[in-house]
């Protein structure tokens, strides 16, 4: 059996997105900046894509900027707001300890440039408190950045509440909605954000295309200099086929949201229930206030990486949801933020489902995880110490 359960890393391209890609690549091959007919047709198609994406997010077309993906959108939003704030003498940024590296590393760069960065803690449920954000915002704050849904543990943050606080205090607010768009309802007005980052490949479009919503009037500076594309804010010939694929994927995901949520929630809860039966393990993050496709566990006495490799041999594609992609041995900052100690955080497993996941696959995953966890524990000196009482169980 081959089971793809790593949809938070990337998704399979939807057939509708692939069709849009091919059609647009063949039909609207001109450069949208060219003045001739082929160029103008491409420009019109670009406008239609922008209108569609704007409508699906509750935004105006001129508030949508196409980018290369989530990382670029996060970078551009944060740097634009920070530098605009610094020009008015405001250099404090409020964010959270569980952001994606696209946000955290941008904030680290700003810190080196003299900005004060406050990372709000989260509870053991993996959710930041809006009151904590409100308390940290002062007259020096130039930006608040809080993700909508976490990429490791799937927890959904109170972004609309934080957005309301930011509106009231007139502080620019960015949300990394990369894991949320296409997976939960997202409306920029309801969220009260000034900036919202999204990425196509997390909801069935190809990689390398994304968008940044920028509320009318919010400052925006460019990361890439060159031509006047994207109203002068993002140079480079538009990747029109990918943009069209993203518009098609978003439309399908949004139209399908109720059915997707109903179906995948049942599968998620079935998998959580089955994995919870494994001794000395714990679900990471709130059991309900999480994305309907996210299952994240820690298992005591094992290494997440060995778990992943053995699951891969059983045909299961999963993730540890940790920083091991960077080759570092540091456990995930998200798992540490929810209070997992280093040893426990190392034994993590993230399974992210899709609309195509079946009940049979969920049962197969649960069976194999149970088997591989006990296999690894039998070989682990740490586990032996635990069973012999030389160490105390944490989970």
Ligand X SMILES: *Cc1c(COP(=O)(O)O)cnc(C)c1O
**Distance separating alpha carbons of residues 235 and 226, to the nearest angstrom:** 5
**In the set 90, 91, 100, 233, which binds ligand X (CB under 6 A)?**
100
| Least distance from ligand X to the Cβ atom of residue 196, Å | 12
Choose one: 63-71, 220-228, 282-290, 293-301; the region binding ligand X (CB under 6 A): 63-71
CB of 1 to ligand X, least distance (A): 27
The answer to whether residue 50 forms part of the interface with ligand X (CB under 6 A) is: no
Q: Looking at 199, 229, 320, 380, which residue binds ligand X (CB under 6 A)?
A: 199
> Distances from the Cα of 65 to the Cαs of 73, 167, 221, 258, 298, in angstroms?
9, 22, 12, 27, 38
* Of the candidate residues 102, 159, 344, 345, the single one contacting ligand X (CB under 6 A): 102
The piece of 14-22, 42-50, 196-204, 254-262 that touches ligand X (CB under 6 A) is 196-204
Q: Give whichever of 263 and 350 is closer to ligand X, judged by the CB atom.
A: 350
Q: Which is nearer to ligand X, 90 or 100 (CB)?
A: 100
Does residue 285 touch ligand X according to CB under 6 A? no
Cβ closest to ligand X, residue 162 vs residue 372: 162
Within a 10 A sphere around the Cβ of 296, how many other Cβ atoms?
A: 30
Say whether residue 210 binds ligand X (CB under 6 A).
yes
- Closest to ligand X by CB, 185 or 279: 185
Q: Which helix (H) or strand (E) element contains residue 178?
A: none
Q: Where is 257: in which H helix or E strand? A: helix 257-276
> Among 46-54, 195-203, 250-258, 348-356, which window interacts with ligand X (CB under 6 A)?
195-203
Nearer to ligand X, 50 or 100 (CB): 100
Closest CA to 8 of 149, 173, 168: 149
Pick the piece of the chain touching ligand X (CB under 6 A) from 48-56, 68-76, 156-164, 219-227. 68-76
* 70 scored as a contact of ligand X (CB under 6 A): yes
* Residue 71 contacts ligand X per CB under 6 A: yes
3-state helix, strand, coil in the chain (%, to 5): 45, 15, 40
Crossing angle (nearest 10°) for helices 257-276 and 240-255: 80
- Residue 182 makes contact with ligand X by CB under 6 A: no
Dihedral in degrees, nearest 10, Cα atoms 126, 132, 138, 142: 10
The yes-or-no answer on residue 324 being catalytic is: yes
Size of the site for ligand X (CB under 6 A): 15
- When the beta carbons of 30 and 69 are compared against ligand X, the nearer one is 69
Distance in Å, CB of 390 to ligand X, minimum: 40
Closer to ligand X by CB, 196 or 366: give it. Answer: 196
Q: Using CB under 6 A, which of 137, 178, 218, 246 touches ligand X?
A: 178
Return the residues of window 128-157 that contact ligand X according to CB under 6 A.
147, 151
**R_g over Cα of the chain:** 22
Rounded CA-CA distance 267/264 in Å is 5
All residues at 6 or more sequence positions from 76 whose CB lies less than 8 Å from its CB, including other chains = 65, 67, 212, 220, 221, 222, 223, 233, 234
* CA atoms of 203 and 180, how far apart (whole Å): 9
Interacting residues of 8 by C-beta distance below 8 A, sequence separation 6+: 151, 152, 154, 179, 202, 291, 293, 294, 319, 321, 350, 352
State the residue number with the nearest CB to ligand X: 70
Smallest separation (angstroms) from ligand X to the CB of 206: 11
Burial class (CB in 10 A: 0-12, 13-18, 19+), 38: middle
Residue 192 binds ligand X (CB under 6 A): no
The alpha carbon of residue 148 and the mean position of all alpha carbons in its chain are separated, in whole angstroms, by 8
* 179 sits near ligand X (criterion: CB under 6 A): yes
Nearest Cα neighbor of 285 from 332, 317, 237 is 332
Comparing CB distances to ligand X, the nearer of 74 and 238 is 74
Select the span of 66-74, 105-113, 314-322, 377-385 touching ligand X (CB under 6 A): 66-74
Strands 92-96, 116-120: pairing is parallel
Residues that bind ligand X in the complex, under the rule CB under 6 A: 69-71, 74, 100, 102, 147, 151, 176, 178-179, 199, 201-202, 210
Residues forming the active site: 324
């Amino acid at each position: 059996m081959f089971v793809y359960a790593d949809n938070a890393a990337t998704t399979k391209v939807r057939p509708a997105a692939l069709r849009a890609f091919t059609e647009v690549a063949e039909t609207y091959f001109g450069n949208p900046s060219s003045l001739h007919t082929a160029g103008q047709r491409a420009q019109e198609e670009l406008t239609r894509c922008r209108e569609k994406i704007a409508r699906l997010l509750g935004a105006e077309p001129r508030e949508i900027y196409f980018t290369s993906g989530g990382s670029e959108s996060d970078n551009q939003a944060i740097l634009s707001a920070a530098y605009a704030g610094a020009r008015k003498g405001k250099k404090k940024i409020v964010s959270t300890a569980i952001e994606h590296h696209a946000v955290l590393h941008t904030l680290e760069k700003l810190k080196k440039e003299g900005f004060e960065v406050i990372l709000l803690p989260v509870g053991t449920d993996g959710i930041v408190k809006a009151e904590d954000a409100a308390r940290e915002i002062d007259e020096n704050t130039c930006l608040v950045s809080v993700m909508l849904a976490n990429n490791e543990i799937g927890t959904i943050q109170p972004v609309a509440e934080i957005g309301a606080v930011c509106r009231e205090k007139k502080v620019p607010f960015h949300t990394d909605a990369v894991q949320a768009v296409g997976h939960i309802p997202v409306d920029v007005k309801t969220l009260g954000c000034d900036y919202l980052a999204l990425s196509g490949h997390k909801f069935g479009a190809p990689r390398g295309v994304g968008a940044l919503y920028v509320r009318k009037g919010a400052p925006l500076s460019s990361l890439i200099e060159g031509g006047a594309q994207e109203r002068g804010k993002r140079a480079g010939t538009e990747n029109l086929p990918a943009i069209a694929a993203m518009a098609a994927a978003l439309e399908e995901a949004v139209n399908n949201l109720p059915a997707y949520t109903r179906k995948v929630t049942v599968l998620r809860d079935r998998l959580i229930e089955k994995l919870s039966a494994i001794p000395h393990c714990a679900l990471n993050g709130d059991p309900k206030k999480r994305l309907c496709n996210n299952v994240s566990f820690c298992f005591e006495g094992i290494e997440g990486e060995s778990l992943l490799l053995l699951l891969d041999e059983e045909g299961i594609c999963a993730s540890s949801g940790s920083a091991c992609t960077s080759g570092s041995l540091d456990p995930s900052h998200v798992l540490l933020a929810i209070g997992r100690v280093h040893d426990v955080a190392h034994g993590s497993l993230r399974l992210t489902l899709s609309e195509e996941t079946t009940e049979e696959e969920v049962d197969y995953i649960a069976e194999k995880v149970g088997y591989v966890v006990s296999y690894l524990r039998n070989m682990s000196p740490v586990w032996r110490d635990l069973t012999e009482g030389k160490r105390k169980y944490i989970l």
